[in-house]
Amino acid sequence: MSSLTSLLESAAPDVQSITTPESAAPTVAGSRALDARFHAAIPAGCHTYAKGDDQFPENMAPYLVRGKGCRVWDVDGNEYIEYGMGLRAVTLGHAYAPVLRAAQREMWRGTTNLGRPTVLELKAAEDFLHTTGAGDMVKFAKNGSDVTTAAVKLARAATGRPLVALCTDHPFFSTDDWFIGTTAVGAGVPEAVRRLTVSFRYNNLDSVRQLFTENAGEVACLILEVEKEVAPEPGFLQGVRDLCTQHGTVLIFDEIIAGLRWHVGGAQAVHGIRPDLSTWGKALGNGFSIAALTGKRELMELGGLHHQQERVFLLSTTYGAESHALAAMREVLATYRREPVIETMHEAGQYLRKLLNQSVLEHGLQNQFLLLGQPQCLVYGTRDADGQPSQAFRTLFMQETLRRGLLLPSFIISNAHRPAEVEQTAERVHEALAVYRRALDEGVEKYLHGRPVQPVYRTRN
C-alpha cells in the first residue's frame, strides 16, 4: 500500500482508490469534430487566450457544455473535476443555485437594461462598499481590463502625469495598450504608447525607488497585485505605499483575483495596506460578468458631476450595470456574509496541498513538481530533470490528468471542492506523477503525445 493511499484511508476510510488506465482514457471525438468550426468562427478558437487549444495537450482539449459544483462535462459526455474555475472567477461552484435565482428574478422584472439607473444599482454599490470596505465610491463594469484602465486614467487625470509603473512579475493587468505593449504580443501598439509604461519588481523596493529617481515627477500611478504566488516580504507593501505618498503617485492594487478569495476586503485587508484605488472582478459575480473600480472619494469624484476640475470621462458602458449581474454580485456578497466561504476554500486547499506534497515526496519530484501560492489559489510549476521550467512536462502532466478525469490548468479551489473531490483528485494526480517520474527517467518524448503547450505571450505562433 502506498503512503498516499495510507494517508487517504486514515483520513476517509470509505474513499476508493481510483485507477484509470490509458486504455480507458476518455474519448474526445466530439470535441475534435468541433475544432475546425471553432477556429473558422472565432480567432484562436476562443474568447480568452488562456483557454486556447495551445494551452492544452494536442487533440485533448475538451469543449464543455455544462458545469455543476466543481465538475464539468464536455460534448462527449466526459465528466471532469475542474480546477480552473472560470480563470478563478467561480468561488461558490458552478451553477450555484442562490446566485442563479437572484439573476433570474431580476431578468424577469425587465430591468436588464433601462434608460435610467435602477435602484438595484444603488443597492449593489452600497453592498459592495459595505462588505469589502475597500473604498468610498464604486463604479461597475463588465471585465477587469476596463476597470484597471479606468484606474490608470483617473491617476493620470489627478496627477497630470503620463507614466504608468507596473509590476513586471505579475502576468496580466489589461488587454489595453498601456499593458499589452509591454508584452511579447505588442503588435498594434505604437512605440510612443509603449514608452509610457515603466516597470518595477515585486519584493524589490530598490527597483521602485529607482523608477521614481529615473522618472522624477512623471509617474502617475503604480499598479500591482497585492500578493500572487509569492507573499510580500516584510515592509515591501508599506514601503511602496510610503514612496507613492512621498512622490504624489496614485497607488493602485489589482484585487481582481485576490478579492473574495484572500479576504472579503481583498488582499489589502489581509496585509493592512490601503491603496488609493483598487480594481475588483472574478469572484464578484461567481462567473457572471461584473467588475468594479473603487477607491478614495477625491479620485473617484473626478469621474462624477460634483467637482469643478477638468472632467474625466471615466467608465461609461452600455452594459456596466446589467441588472442580472448586479443581482448575482449581491447574492455572492450575501453568501460570503452568512457562510465561511474563504475559510472553507482555505481548508480544502490546505488538505489538497498536503495530499499532493505527500505524492510528490513519494515519487521523488521535490525539484520537478512545485506547488505555489495560497492554498485557495494554488498553481503548479513543472521542471525537467535539470530543474529547468518545462512546457513539455507541463503538457505531459495535463495529458495524464485529463485522461483521469481532471481539468487541471492549475489547482484553483472553490467552495464546492469537498473532501471527497480533493481525495479523488489526489489519487489521480498520484498516478499522473508516476508517469512524470518515468518520463524524467526515460525521456519525456516517450510519454508525451503531441506538441508541448505554448506561452500565451509569444511573438509568433
Residue 113's pLDDT is 87
Instruction: Read off the pLDDT band of 212 (50, 70, 90).
Output: very high
- Over the stretch 380-431, which tens digit does the pLDDT of each residue have? 999 999 999 999 999 999 999 999 999 999 999 999 999 999 999 999 999 9
Residue with more model confidence, 386 or 21: 386
Q: How many CB atoms lie within 10 A of CB 341?
A: 21
Q: Tell me how far apart the alpha carbons of residues 161 and 350 are, in angstroms, rounded to a whole number.
A: 44
Q: Is the pLDDT of residue 334 over 60?
A: yes
Residue 205 in grid coordinates: 523596493
Pairing verdict, β 219-225 and 250-254: parallel
List, in sequence order, every beta strand (DSSP E) within 147-270. 163-167, 197-200, 219-225, 250-254
Q: Tell me how far apart the alpha carbons of residues 270 and 265 are, in angstroms, rounded to a whole number.
A: 8
Percent of the chain with pLDDT over 70: 95
Q: Is the pLDDT of residue 127 over 80?
A: yes
- Over the stretch 76-110, which tens digit does the pLDDT of each residue have? 999 999 999 999 999 999 999 999 999 999 999 98
Residue 11's pLDDT is 45
Residue 246's pLDDT is 98
Q: In sequence order, which ranges of 186-235 are alpha helices (DSSP H)?
A: 191-194, 205-214
Residue with more model confidence, 457 or 136: 136
- Over the stretch 129-156, which tens digit does the pLDDT of each residue have? 999 999 999 999 999 999 999 999 999 9
Sheet holding 197-200, edge to edge: 137-141, 291-295, 277-280, 250-254, 219-225, 163-167, 197-200
Residue 18's pLDDT is 34
Tell me the backbone φ, ψ of residue 419, rounded to 5 degrees.
Answer: -55, -35
Q: Tell me how far apart the alpha carbons of residues 112 and 90 are, in angstroms, rounded to a whole number.
A: 22
**Burial environment of residue 409 by CB neighbours within 10 A (0 to 12, 13 to 18, 19 or more):** buried
Residue with more model confidence, 283 or 15: 283
**Which amino acid, 433?**
L
Q: Tell me how far apart the alpha carbons of residues 370 and 306 are, in angstroms, rounded to a whole number.
A: 52
Q: Tell me how far apart the alpha carbons of residues 136 and 246 are, in angstroms, rounded to a whole number.
A: 22
Domain 3-82+340-446 classification at class level: alpha beta
Residue 406 parent element (H or E)? strand 406-407
Contact 105/327 with Cβ under 8 angstroms? Answer: yes
Q: Is the pLDDT of residue 168 over 80?
A: yes
Residue 306's pLDDT is 86
Q: Is the pLDDT of residue 7 over 70?
A: no
Cα distances from 439 to residues 122, 361, 363, in angstroms, run 57, 17, 12
Pairing verdict, β 291-295 and 137-141: antiparallel
Q: Is 324 helix (H, G, I), strand (E, B) or coil?
A: helix
- Over the stretch 273-323, which tens digit does the pLDDT of each residue have? 999 999 999 999 999 999 999 999 999 999 999 877 888 999 999 898 899
Instruction: Read off the pLDDT band of 3 (50, 70, 90).
Output: low
Domain 97-338 classification at class level: alpha beta
Residue 389 in grid coordinates: 521550467
- Over the stretch 351-367, which tens digit does the pLDDT of each residue have? 999 999 999 999 999 99
Percent of the chain with pLDDT over 90: 89
Summary mean pLDDT of the chain:
93
Q: Is the pLDDT of residue 450 over 80?
A: yes
Q: Tell me how far apart the alpha carbons of residues 305 and 376 are, in angstroms, rounded to a whole number.
A: 41
Residue 337's pLDDT is 96
Q: Is the pLDDT of residue 453 over 60?
A: yes
Give the domain ranges of the chain.
3-82+340-446, 97-338
Give the closest residue to 71 by CA, choosing from 88, 83, 54, 63.
Answer: 83
